[in-house]
Structure 1
Amino acid sequence: MQRRQLGNLELSTPLLGFGTMRLPLQEDKKTVDFERVQQMVDCAMENGVNYFDTAYPYHDGTSEENVGRALAKYPRDSYILVDKLPIWACKEKEDMQKVFDTQLERCGVDCFDIYLLHAVSHENYDDAERLGAYDFMRRMQAEGKVRHVGFSFHDSPAFLQRVLASHRWDVAQMQLNYVDWSLQHADEQYRLFTEAGVPLIVMEPVRGGFLAKLPESAQAPLRACQPDWSDAAWALRWVADHPNVRVILSGMSDLAMMEENIDTLKDAAPLTEEEERALAESLEELSKVTAVPCTGCRYCMPCPFGVDIPRIFALYNDYKRHQNQFLVKSMYQRFTPAENRADQCRRCGACMKHCPQHIEIPDRLAEIHAEIQGLE
């Protein structure tokens, strides 16, 4: 696996990182399948993918436990473990220490290699400053419980300037893919991070799976250029082309996906001019597809009124890519319980407070319900 230096930090990282927000599940679709997690962790370690990213809320708090358990067989200095401080779970300063201690215990370690302020946006940064989150993380660093401090970001370039100016950051994590480069101003964010000298960890390189299964019209120019590359491989290689990107996180949920991503990034060369033209043609076709920019992160859940927001958006996005009216009506009307459908939304707005993509969720739910119900 290719390795890159994490800026000026004394840390060499693999280009591919294991994001643990979408771990394999058992048949109940809720419980993490630890045996398969262990297989994936073993495969990752065997192939030099020793960067593991987890967080307090992932899999309802069980991601940290499963990752820690799977890594327990390996020497602590053989892998890089990243966790995050959920400021929304902290009401008082003392809560940060409680959460942090819980995270160390769940992971079964005494130190995090990187500790990030989680999902920074204009809606939570004032709380983080009020509680002294940055000073807390630096104190954990001084105590030897954190090696490097940073933040993951979900907001505008203008707000990013404020965050970068407020403190000295070792590293940062941002959403970067070839769709959001212009759609969500990731190009401007990338520039600001780079000019500030902050090395980048990338999340959502395939946009929650959206770029891993393109519509046929968008696939055509890519297949003509590189018939053997998967849609996901194109997305990963595009991200790898950016020099300030040091790790590309993939939320891998099965062993096959991990093996494909390892093969893609183990010796990925820069895109050629011909490949860049093919990707531009694909993006032009993709821009014609109207869908919801949901990555399936589930930060919007649970809905107080039972709406399964990520499922509905996923069904709708799949329909827009493949135009299978029968399938989307069947999956929505027959296999989505009535109490979980979009028309149960009461516009309370709770979901929008946590959506990293800033989707107007109640409006989109109403539109989707009307459109699917109106299909013949």
Structure 2
Amino acid sequence: MLYRKNPKNGDELSILGFGAMRLPVKEDGSIDDKTATDMVRTCIDNGVNYVDTAWPYHMGESETFLADALADGYRGKVKLATKLPQWMVKRLEDMDKFLNAQLEKLNTDHIDYYLVHSLVGSSWKTIKEIGVLEFLDKAKADGRIINAGFSYHGDPEDFAPIIDAYDWDFCQIQYNFLDTNVQAGTAGLEYAASKGLAVVIMEPLRGGNLADPVPKEILDIWNEADVKRSPVEWALRWVWNHPEVTVVLSGMSAPEHVQENLKVADDGLPNSLTEKELQLVERAAEKYGELMKINCTACRYCMPCPEEVDIPACFEVYNNLHMFGGEDRLKMMYAAKMGGILRGAETNFASQCVQCGQCLDACPQHIPIPDTLEKVAEEFEGPGLGERIAFAKQLFADDSC
């Protein structure tokens, strides 16, 4: 296992982190405790020392599961990360309630790496006004958390102001070879590193979509390489190639994922891919772009929308559905994100478009945006949307702890 240093505190962190969001499950949807525990402990036995979870993962059961998986001395071998569900916080005292409940669920007296979960520009403004910075200072001072950070899912322009607002120890961003200009993107990665933060990467495989199976056109590109690698290895090695990256989280859901990830991590050195290999990755990214139904680059020139439709986010979920499948998961995420459950109070449904046309002149790709939003609405807002919104509210917005 290779390790990279957190510049803020000198922690030597394994470049591969275990993400406990996609654990193996039984037929009834509950966590397969035995298989999942074996996977977590196999990773730790092979050098992984960063384990990540969060309040809502596995319907709230991920943290409780990890308490047992990290028993028998394993807790002391890892840096444990979990997250404050900021969208569920209504008042300052809620933050203490959630943290204390998480300490109990995880059967630990401290969280090594504690994140404010899933920030965007609007939710940052809200949680900051409630007093999250004072809460973090207090929790660090009394030892309940050691390092404070945040995970980010917002627009590119809102990332740097959050970085600059507090003396963060680390941050967590989505990053892969398709998402260099999405959310924090490459610019955000480099900015956070320039400020001395450790950077933890989520979604290096885009929720598994960059793993097998991949389109034939992409496989043809990978097969041109002098050194043959699996699609998973290409994706992970590309992220690790960036020296600004500290830890890459993998949401492993089967024992074979553990074995492959551990093997790939042995070679995850920064600046280790050749120029030819980097060009192959760039071509693969371009080919994925060609396969997309909507030629949106997420430049956000179309924003802001007068009706508050998040146009690039609507197009992203539509493209993901048609490139990768996973209809049920994507429809649930559409309901949660566009329904305002993970983005604050506002809603951003495609059907809110009134075809004012303001976006048309702004789009450098000349996408017929209003007509395309109609297609998104037809795909994601048909029968069952109300039920998905209700379920998402139950999963993400229950304010009890």
In structure 2, what residue type is equivalent to 1:17?
Answer: G
Q: 1:79 to 1:218 in 2, by over 3 A?
A: same
| TM-score of the aligned structures, taking structure 2 as reference length | 0.76
Residue 137 of structure 1 corresponds to 136
The within-5 A match list for 1:96-245 is 96-184=95-183, 186-213=185-212, 214-225=214-225, 228-245=228-245
Residue 77 of structure 1: how far off its partner (Å): 2.6
Secondary structure of residue in 1 paired with 2:167: coil
| TM-score of the aligned structures, taking structure 1 as reference length | 0.80
* Cα distance in structure 1, aligned partners of 2:127 and 2:381: 39
Q: 1:129 to 1:348 in 2, by over 3 A?
A: closer
Residue 193 of structure 1: how far off its partner (Å): 1.1
Residue 366 of structure 1: how far off its partner (Å): 3.0
2:85 matches 1:86: yes
Q: 1:204 to 1:46 in 2, by over 3 A?
A: same
* Cα distance in structure 2, aligned partners of 1:205 and 1:2: 17
Residue 35 of structure 1 corresponds to 34
* Cα distance in structure 1, aligned partners of 2:135 and 2:78: 24
* Cα distance in structure 2, aligned partners of 1:20 and 1:286: 28
Residue 12 of structure 1 corresponds to 12
Task: Check whether the contact 2:87–2:341 (CA below 8 A) recurs between aligned residues.
Answer: no
* Cα distance in structure 2, aligned partners of 1:250 and 1:121: 22
* Cα distance in structure 2, aligned partners of 1:27 and 1:229: 33
Task: Check whether the contact 1:352–1:360 (CA below 8 A) recurs between aligned residues.
Answer: no
Please identify runs of 4+ aligned residues in structure 1 that moved more than 4 A: 313-319, 346-350, 358-365
Residue 354 of structure 1 corresponds to 342
State the aligned residue count: 334
Q: 1:84 to 1:35 in 2, by over 3 A?
A: same
Give the one of 287, 290, 295 matched to 1:288.
290
Residue 151 of structure 1: how far off its partner (Å): 0.8
Secondary structure of residue in 2 paired with 1:123: helix
Residue 348 of structure 1: how far off its partner (Å): 11
Q: 1:361 to 1:254 in 2, by over 3 A?
A: farther
Task: Check whether the contact 1:221–1:282 (CA below 8 A) recurs between aligned residues.
Answer: yes
Q: 1:352 to 1:370 in 2, by over 3 A?
A: closer
In structure 1, what residue type is equivalent to 2:104?
Answer: E
In structure 2, what residue type is equivalent to 1:265?
Answer: A
* Cα distance in structure 2, aligned partners of 1:275 and 1:341: 31
Task: Check whether the contact 2:120–2:343 (CA below 8 A) recurs between aligned residues.
Answer: no
Q: 1:226 to 1:117 in 2, by over 3 A?
A: farther
- C-alpha RMSD of the superposition: 3.1
Residue 298 of structure 1 corresponds to none
Q: 1:237 to 1:124 in 2, by over 3 A?
A: same
In structure 2, what residue type is equivalent to 1:271?
Answer: L
Residue 309 of structure 2 corresponds to none
* Cα distance in structure 2, aligned partners of 1:348 and 1:108: 30
How much identity, in percent, do the aligned residues show? 31
* Cα distance in structure 1, aligned partners of 2:335 and 2:251: 30
Secondary structure of residue in 2 paired with 1:102: helix
Residue 275 of structure 1 corresponds to 277
In structure 2, what residue type is equivalent to 1:97?
Answer: D
Secondary structure of residue in 2 paired with 1:64: helix
Q: 1:44 to 1:359 in 2, by over 3 A?
A: farther
Residue 307 of structure 1 corresponds to none
Residue 52 of structure 1 corresponds to 51
Deviations 1:234-267 (A, max 9, x none): 1100000111111000111111011101100112
Residue 302 of structure 1 corresponds to none
In structure 2, what residue type is equivalent to 1:267?
Answer: D
In structure 2, what residue type is equivalent to 1:283?
Answer: A
- Unmatched runs of 5 consecutive residues or more in structure 1: 294-312, 322-327, 372-376
Task: Check whether the contact 2:292–2:319 (CA below 8 A) recurs between aligned residues.
Answer: no
* Cα distance in structure 1, aligned partners of 2:289 and 2:91: 45
In structure 2, what residue type is equivalent to 1:221?
Answer: I
Residue 62 of structure 2 corresponds to 63
* Cα distance in structure 1, aligned partners of 2:9 and 2:266: 22
2:250 matches 1:262: no
Secondary structure of residue in 2 paired with 1:52: strand
